[in-house]
Amino acid sequence: MADGDRWVFNRLAGDYRARPAYPAALVDRLAALAGEAGAVVDLGAGTGLLALPLAGRGIAVRAVEPASAMLAVLREGVRGLPVDPVHAAAEQTGLPAGAATLVLVADALHWVEPEAAGHEAARLLAPGGAVAVVEVRIRGSAFADGLSELLARENPRAHPRPRGRLDQFLAATGVRRRAAETYLDEQVLAPERLDAVLRSLSLVGPALGPERLAGLLAEARRLAGAAGGATWTRELRLTWGRREAP
């Protein structure tokens, strides 16, 4: 399994602890898609921001993550929950075929090869099961909008993610019925937590040198002060489809 320095997320795992949780309404919706006796495969599970709350609702989750440091943080939160950490890539999990009532990709589609991951999701999915993709966008508050401009200025690579990956992934899964839903979440981050969340962004923490990173964090705090707080506003778009039972 590729790991080590190739996986930038091994360097980000500690700061991931500061990332805001997903809203309960979204977790509830995913649990409903999985079903009461569901089994979820979470591709690109990271530190378990969705795997752990889903397991807290009694759903068995296989949390697939290629970065071992991320899985180490996830394991700290398991505490008897029905979560099985799996050190593997989304494109080739090694898990049994047809065992998942829900295959989930949350804020990770831009890091996988969409067709290969989609074919793997299709292999994992049970008849009648569902595939769900969660995409995250930071916007909708004075602070969030100003922060987006700051990130684009400091790192020109912080451009919008390429389109088409969602359609490629879903087409490869073979699901027929599709639907999209949007959830909004807003939290105010304390200064130290804001620093950690920004460092956890792949286009910030690992991409900027120490001096530029320090300058960006200071400017982000100034933006928060001018906006009346670091209001971290997220638009969470859930797109899902269900495989028709034979």
SS (H, E, C) 28-84: HHHHHHHCCCCEEEEECCCCCCCHHHHHHCCCEEEEEECCHHHHHHHHHCCCCCCEE
CA nearest neighbour of 1 among 74, 93, 81, 127 = 93
Model pLDDT for residues 103-120, shown as the tens digit of each residue? 999 999 988 999 999 999
**CATH code of the domain containing 232:** 3.40.50.150
Percent of the chain with pLDDT over 70: 91
Domain count, the chain: 1
pTM of the model: 0.90
H-type alpha helices, 58-190 = 68-76, 114-124, 142-154, 165-173
If DSSP codes are grouped into helix, strand and coil, which group holds residue 219? helix
CA nearest neighbour of 49 among 79, 25, 70 = 70
pLDDT computed for residue 7 by the predictor: 59
Task: Name residues whose C-beta falls within 8 Å of residue 168's C-beta, 6 or more positions apart in sequence.
Answer: 114, 115, 118
Model pLDDT for residues 155-188, shown as the tens digit of each residue? 766 555 556 889 999 999 998 778 999 999 999 9
Domain that holds residue 164: 4-242
